[in-house]
Structure 1
Amino acid sequence: MNKYTHVFLGTAFSSKSPKEVEILKDHLFCINSKGMIEKIVAPKDADYHPLLDTYQGEENFHRLADGHYLLPGFVDLHVHAPQWAQSGTALDIPLYDWLNTYTFPIESKFSDLEFAKNVYEDVVSTLLGNGTTTALYFATIHKEASLLLAEICSAKGQRGLVGKVVMDLPEQTPEYYRDADAETALAETEEFILAVQELAKSTKQGVYPVVTPRFIPSCTDEALKGLGELAAKYDTYVQSHCSESDWAHGYVQDRFDKNDAFALHDFGLLREKSVMAHCNFLNDQDAELFAETGTAIGHCPISNAYFANSVLPLAHLHAKGIEVGLGSDISGGFSPSLFDNARQVVMSSRMLEDGVNPSLPADERGVPNSRITIDEAFYFATAGGGESLSLPIGRLAENYAWDAQIIDTNLGSSKLPIYDANENLHDIFQKMMYLVQPENIREVWVQGEKVHSR
C-alpha cells in the first residue's frame, strides 16, 4: 500500500521570507491522509527517483502539464460575505452613507435563510475559484445565517473563519438592523461559538468561530466588554475594523479619548488570534501595541482606495513586527481576487512613496521607503495571512496544509506572454502575479482535497 494519499510533480513558488520567493523546480510534493505536506523531494535528492517509480502511473499521482505551476492558496483576512450581493455598486459615496444607504439594508435581508444560502454559496464558490483557500468572514447579526455560512464553507471545502456580527448601539445602527441589546448579542454569540466548534469536529480543513464586534462605533461598552470575555473564555479568533477612515478614527477618539487600538485592547479584543481590518491611521504607539499583543492587520488595498482616506504605510508597520495579510474587503473592495489586491498593494505603495500632489517638490511629495514589491505582496497574500491566523497554511512547505492552486499559463484567450521555453522562472512568477485571471486557475486544493476545477 502506498504511503501518500497524493503525490504532485511540478514547479512551485512559495515565500521563503517576506521579501524572497522560493522556486521549487520539478519537485515532488507528498501529501498525507490528513491533507498535510509530509515531504517535499527535490530532483537531486536520493529518494526522488524511487518515489517517482513507485507513484508514476498511479491514480493519486499528479504530474503538472507544461506551462502549469503551483502557488499556495490565498488567505483572505477580511471578507463581508453578505456584501457579495452589492459588490461593484455605490463605491463613489462616503463610508457612512454607503453603510446606511446600501450595506445595512442588504445585510438585514439575511434573516431570510433562503436568500442567505444563495449569496453565501455563491461567494464561497467564487472565492475558491479565485484561489482563496482560507477566508476570514464577517457574516451578519443573524445567528442562523452566520452558522449557515460556516456550514457552506465546511461542505465546499474552504477553510472558513466566520463571525456573527455584533452591533447594538442605537445611535449608530438603524432600528431595522441591530442586535436587540447587548445581552442578546452576547448570548447569541456564545451559542454561535459552540455550534461552530461542534461543526469543526467533522470538517477536515477546519472551520472556526470568530468574535466579531462590527467596529467600536456600532457597539455599546457592555457588548465590547462581553465579547472580549467570550474570546478569552473560548480562546477564539477576534476580528473588527480599526482606525479605517478619518471618521471612524475620530469617532473613537471623541468617545474614549484614545485611539482605536487602545480602546479595543481595554475590552480584551487585541490578542494573538486577533485580526483588525484596515488600520490606516495607526500611530507608532498603536503599532507597538499590535506587535506586543500579536494582533494582525488585514490590509485591504482596493477598499482603502475608496473608503480609507489614505494609503496604509504597510512597509513601516510591517517593519515594526506586526503580522500582516491581505483582505479583499468585499464589497468595499470590488474584487474577490487576491491577485487583484496584491497588484493594488504594489501600486498604492508606490503612490505613497512617490507622493500624489504634483504641485509639491519631488523630495516633499511622498513617504520614503514605502514601496512594496510583487514578491512581498505575494507573501502577504499567502504566508503573511497564515502567520496572521497562526495556522500552518500559506506556504508550500513540509508540515503545512496542501492548500494549492494550479495555474495554467497556456490557456487560450488568457495565455500569458511566455515565448521562451527557458524563460527565467522568477520572471514567469511575476507574470502570473500580474496577469492571471480566474480562468487560469485550473484546480484549487484545500487540505489535500480538490475543491475547484475548470
Structure 2
Amino acid sequence: MAPSRQRLDLPLHDWLNQYTFPLESRYSDLTFAARIYPELVDTLLAHGTTTAMYFATIDSAPSEYLASVCKEKGQRALVGKISMDEKSMCPDYYVESSTQQALSDAEAFIQNVNQIDAQQGLVYPVVTPRFVPTSTKALLEGLGKLVSQYQCHVQTHASESDWARDFTEQTYQKTDVELYNETGLLTRKTVLAHSIFLSESDKETIKTVGAGIAHCPLSNMYFADAAFPLREALDKDLHVGLGSDLSGGPLPSIFHAALDAVSHSRVREAGTNTHLLEQRGEANTRVSFVEAFWLATHGGGLTLDLPIGVFKPGYCFDALVVDSNTQGSQVRVYDDLDSEQDILEKIIVHTTEPAISSVWVSGRRVK
C-alpha cells in the first residue's frame, strides 16, 4: 500500500473503512500503482529490508505489477493479491464480484507470479485472505485447496483485535487459528499477522503445523487492544519474525520494529496501571536486543520457511553495511568503550537510511 499512515488514532474497523479500503481501491488504476510501488520498494531496500511480504490489493494487475517491480529491483518478495468476498463486511466499491471469481483470480495470480520469476526464485505468490470478517467460509475453503495444489505461501491476519477475535468466535464458534486449520490455510508456509489473542490450543496447533507469526509491535500499539505475548511465544519455540505493517505501522524500518519489540516487552513487564503496585505488569516478559535482532533476521527466515537470515552454508547471502562514518549516520561506535553487544544495540536503535551504505540480496548488490 501507499504508506499514507493516516489516522492511526482510529479503531481498526473505522480505520479500514475510512482510509485503508479507499486507498487500496485506487490501485486498480495502474498509473497510480506505477507512481507508488517502485518508490515503496526503493524505500524498503534503502532501509535494509532484503525480504518483504506484501499485502497488495484485490486487483490482480497491480498486484502482479508489484511482483515485477520487486524482481526488477532485486528485492526478495512474497506478494499477495488480497481475497475478500464477504459483501456485508466490505464496501461496495472494494470487494470481489463473487466467490468463484475470487478463487479464479487467486489461481491466475499464483500462476502469473510464478512465471514472473520462474528461474531466480526471488519472488513468490502468496494466497492472501485478508482476515476472517471479509471472507466467506467458501472462499477460505477454496483458497485452502489452491494452497494444497500449488504449495504456496499463505498470509492473513489472526486475532488482531477484540473486534476481529469476537467476530470469528460469534460467527463460527471457533478461533481464527481453528478456522484456518480446518479450511487448509494453516501450513508450514503460513504467516499469521499479529496473533494477539491466541489460546493455548491455538499455540499448540501453530507449533505442530510449523506456521509462523509476524509480530508488528508498533502497529499493535495502535490497533490490537492488547500486547502480543512475545516472550511466551519465543519460550514455546514458535516461529516469530518482525513486521513493520505499513500502513498500520507508520515506519518502514525493521530496525525500528526491533526497537519497538524491546519497548513493547518492557511495557508488558512494567505494566501501565499506576494505581497498582506489586500487581502491576507481567513478570519475566521482556525480550533483549539480541533476541529482537534475531527476530529481524533468522526468526524472519524461519517464519517464511526460507533459507535466509543467517550466515551459514546453504543460506542466501543477504547483507547490508551500516557505516558509522557516512554523512548523516547517527550510529557512533567507540572501540575503547563499546562491547559487541553495545554496538549491536546502537545499530538497532540508531540505524536510519543514511547509515546504510549498501544492501545485498541473494548475492546481488541492490543499493
Report if TM-score (shorter chain) is over 0.5: yes
Counterpart of 1:259 in structure 2 is 175
Counterpart of 1:111 in structure 2 is 28
Tell me, yes or no, if the aligned pair for 2:328 and 2:354 is still in contact at 8 Å. no
Counterpart of 1:19 in structure 2 is none
Counterpart of 1:51 in structure 2 is none
Tell me, yes or no, if the aligned pair for 2:155 and 2:193 is still in contact at 8 Å. yes
In 2, distance between residues paired with 1:216 and 1:255? 10
Counterpart of 2:81 in structure 1 is 164
Name whichever structure is richer in strand by fraction: 1
In 1, distance between residues paired with 2:73 and 2:327? 28
Q: Could you list the per-position Cα deviations for residues 200-259 of structure 1 after superposition, in whole angstroms to 9, with x for gaps in the alignment?
A: 214x35111100000000011111100000000000000100000000001100001111
Tell me which amino acid in the other structure corresponds to 2:298.
A
Tell me, yes or no, if the aligned pair for 1:83 and 1:103 is still in contact at 8 Å. no
In 2, distance between residues paired with 1:279 and 1:83? 24
Corresponding residue to 1:315 among 221, 231, 235: 231
Indicate yes or no: 2:206 matched with 1:290: yes
Greater shift, 225-234 or 428-437, is seen at 428-437
Indicate yes or no: 2:92 matched with 1:175: yes
Displacement of 1:417: 3.0
Over the matched positions of the two proteins, sequence identity in percent amounts to: 44
State the secondary structure of the residue aligned to 1:365.
coil
Tell me, yes or no, if the aligned pair for 2:255 and 2:348 is still in contact at 8 Å. yes
Displacement of 1:186: 0.3
In 2, distance between residues paired with 1:136 and 1:344? 19
In 1, distance between residues paired with 2:171 and 2:178? 12
Displacement of 1:437: 1.0
Tell me, yes or no, if the aligned pair for 1:349 and 1:371 is still in contact at 8 Å. yes
Tell me, yes or no, if the aligned pair for 2:330 and 2:350 is still in contact at 8 Å. no
Q: Alignment length, in residue pairs?
A: 367
Displacement of 1:394: 0.6
Q: Could you list the per-position Cα deviations for residues 68-93 of structure 1 after superposition, in whole angstroms to 9, with x for gaps in the alignment?
A: xxxxxxxxxxxxxx142x22x11111
Tell me which amino acid in the other structure corresponds to 1:129.
A
Displacement of 1:331: 0.6
Corresponding residue to 1:399 among 294, 306, 314: 314
Indicate yes or no: 2:349 matched with 1:434: yes
- The RMSD of aligned alpha carbons is 1.2
In 2, distance between residues paired with 1:163 and 1:330? 14
Structure 1's 370 and 150: CA in aligned 2 closer, same or farther, altered over 3 A? Answer: same
Corresponding residue to 1:373 among 268, 285, 288: 288
In 1, distance between residues paired with 2:328 and 2:257? 22
Tell me which amino acid in the other structure corresponds to 2:101.
T
**Structure 2, unaligned runs of 5 or more:** none
Max radius of gyration: which structure? 1
Tell me, yes or no, if the aligned pair for 1:157 and 1:205 is still in contact at 8 Å. no
**Structure showing greater relative contact order (alpha-carbon pairs closer than 8 Å, 6 or more residues apart):** 1
Displacement of 1:317: 1.5
State the secondary structure of the residue aligned to 2:57.
coil
Tell me, yes or no, if the aligned pair for 1:137 and 1:163 is still in contact at 8 Å. yes
Corresponding residue to 1:147 among 45, 64, 78: 64
State the secondary structure of the residue aligned to 2:325.
coil
Q: Normalising by structure 2, report the TM-score.
A: 0.98
Indicate yes or no: 2:108 matched with 1:191: yes
Displacement of 1:424: 2.4
Tell me, yes or no, if the aligned pair for 2:212 and 2:303 is still in contact at 8 Å. yes
Indicate yes or no: 2:157 matched with 1:241: yes
Displacement of 1:422: 7.0
In 1, distance between residues paired with 2:319 and 2:213? 23
In 1, distance between residues paired with 2:108 and 2:327? 49
5 Å-filtered alignment, 1:349-428, equals 349-362=265-278, 364-420=279-335, 423-428=338-343
In 2, distance between residues paired with 1:422 and 1:301? 31
**Structure 1, unaligned runs of 5 or more:** 1-81
Tell me which amino acid in the other structure corresponds to 1:258.
K
Tell me, yes or no, if the aligned pair for 1:158 and 1:205 is still in contact at 8 Å. no
Displacement of 1:412: 3.5
Indicate yes or no: 2:55 matched with 1:138: yes
Tell me which amino acid in the other structure corresponds to 1:358.
T
Q: Could you list the per-position Cα deviations for residues 390-422 of structure 1 after superposition, in whole angstroms to 9, with x for gaps in the alignment?
A: 111011222211110101012344343333457
State the secondary structure of the residue aligned to 1:306.
helix
In 2, distance between residues paired with 1:415 and 1:91? 27
Tell me which amino acid in the other structure corresponds to 1:332.
G
Displacement of 1:194: 0.5
State the secondary structure of the residue aligned to 1:253.
helix
Indicate yes or no: 2:127 matched with 1:211: yes
Tell me, yes or no, if the aligned pair for 1:213 and 1:224 is still in contact at 8 Å. yes
Tell me which amino acid in the other structure corresponds to 2:351.
V
Counterpart of 1:343 in structure 2 is 259
Displacement of 1:423: 3.8
In 1, distance between residues paired with 2:264 and 2:329? 26
In 1, distance between residues paired with 2:123 and 2:333? 39
Tell me which amino acid in the other structure corresponds to 1:440.
A
Counterpart of 1:37 in structure 2 is none
